[in-house]
């Protein structure tokens, strides 16, 4: 029962942050959700598929929690809880640090800043890292094969979004400033020497 409570709490905190930020930005006239909007070809495919994967894994998370599928080994469930909590915290800090430059998807029409301070000093993509840790954490707490397949699919789609959409966009938008940042900070975790 305690893992159900932890899972529901981290999902509420995670998605509460996500939607509260979108609502806050909407009140300021900022369209946060840019996923698939004004995109064509491969970029549109990646963003729309990523969004579908996120919705599917969220629904599978909820079903797995309600049904109570579980991992036999308590230590794996504890690791999952820690990963889920860490993912939620990383996501919240990343969204807060990003300020009004935060978007879901890329927007070529919105002018944003390249954020390199705070948590972005140790991860170029902490929001995506937060999603990955959350999904993997819930998978470890409530393992089942459908959830496993959807989690792997979502994590792969987020990675594809980063390497084939976000990095291309950031290079075009910020040029040498982004290249210098990329030379200093790893994609997911760590600084380069």
| Contact between residue 106 and residue 37 where contact means Cβ atoms under 8 Å apart | no
User: The whole model's pTM is what?
Assistant: 0.92
pLDDT one-digit tens code per residue, 18-27 = 999 989 988 9
Domains in the chain, please, with CATH? 2-184 (1.20.120.1630)
b/e burial code for range 110-129 (CB count within 10 A of at least 16 → b): eebeebbeebbeebbbbbbb
Compute the distance between CA of residue 148 and CA of residue 145 in angstroms, rounded to an integer: 5
Could you report the per-residue pLDDT of 41-62, keeping only the tens digit for each?
999 999 999 999 999 999 999 9
In 3D space, the residue among 164, 167, 136, 165 whose CA is nearest the CA of residue 150 turns out to be 136
Q: How far is CA 124 from the centre of its chain?
A: 12
Answer whether 56's CB lies under 8 Å from 154's CB.
yes
Each residue's pLDDT tens digit, 113-155: 899 999 999 999 999 999 999 999 999 999 999 999 999 999 9
């Amino acid at each position: 029962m305690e893992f159900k409570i932890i899972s529901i709490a981290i999902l509420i905190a995670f998605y509460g942050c996500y939607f509260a930020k979108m609502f806050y930005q909407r009140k300021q006239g900022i369209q946060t959700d840019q996923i698939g909007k004004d995109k064509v070809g491969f970029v549109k495919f990646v963003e729309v598929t990523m969004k579908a994967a996120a919705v599917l894994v969220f629904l599978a998370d909820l079903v797995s929690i309600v049904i109570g599928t579980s991992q036999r080994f308590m230590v794996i469930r504890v690791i999952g809880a820690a990963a889920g909590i860490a993912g939620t915290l990383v996501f919240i800090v990343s969204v807060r640090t990003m300020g009004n430059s935060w978007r879901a998807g890329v927007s070529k029409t919105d002018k944003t800043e390249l954020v390199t301070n705070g948590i972005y000093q140790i991860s170029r993509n902490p929001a995506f890292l937060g999603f990955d840790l959350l999904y993997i954490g819930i998978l470890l707490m409530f393992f089942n094969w459908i959830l496993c397949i959807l989690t792997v699919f979502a994590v792969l789609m987020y990675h594809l979004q980063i390497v084939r959409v976000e990095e291309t966009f950031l290079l075009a938008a910020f040029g040498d400033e982004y290249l210098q940042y990329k030379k200093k900070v790893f994609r997911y975790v760590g600084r380069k020497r």
